[in-house]
Amino acid sequence: MAFGLVKFEGVERYIKSYAEYILRQARQRLKSKDVSGELSASLHYNFYPTDDGYILEFRGSKYADYVQKGVKGTEGTRTYITIKGERKTSPYSYTSKMPPTESIFKWVKSRGLKGRNKETGRFITDKSLAFAISKGIQKKGVPAASYYTQPISWSFNHFKEELQKELKIDVLKYITE
């Protein structure tokens, strides 16, 4: 895009490469949390020009923000890391509802987990284990993955420096043409 007559090709290319870097980092941070790979596959960015500059948005599936910011349980709090590196309390919480037992059941099956009764030592059914895990999540909550915000907060100063270099190159290219 050109603002006035200056073409910011280097700036646009750098912002897109930075967005790809953040996506790679986010997917790496999700490897241990995203068993099915659905969340990682849904991560993408939108980059487009406006009259005032550019907009870069990072997106994901419907439940992505819950994983990003965590969910408070009935007996505790959860925090996440903002883009500025600050720790904030999760805006989401479990109250009377539990996470869906069916989803936990699929997760238990995919991981091959087996639960035992504490008193008898006997194995319990996968459905009972899924219910127990759901109840535990309701009480303790879900820790935040901060898969987008942590890589951004770690790399933002470097991003600004490199963006300034690209801007300088684009402006000098315009002036010398």
The per-residue pLDDT for range 117-126, each reduced to its tens digit, is 888 989 999 9
Total of domains in the chain: 2
Contact of 60 with 52, CB cutoff 8 Å: no
66 lies in the same domain as 77: no
65 lies in the same domain as 78: no
The per-residue pLDDT for range 31-47, each reduced to its tens digit, is 888 777 889 999 999 99
The parent domain of residue 98 ranges over 71-143
78/89 Cα distance (integer angstroms): 6
pTM: 0.81
Beta-carbon contacts of 117 under 8 Å, excluding residues fewer than 6 positions away, are: 123, 124
Beta-carbon contacts of 176 under 8 Å, excluding residues fewer than 6 positions away, are: none
64 lies in the same domain as 149: yes
The per-residue pLDDT for range 1-28, each reduced to its tens digit, is 555 567 889 999 999 999 999 999 999 9
92 lies in the same domain as 103: yes
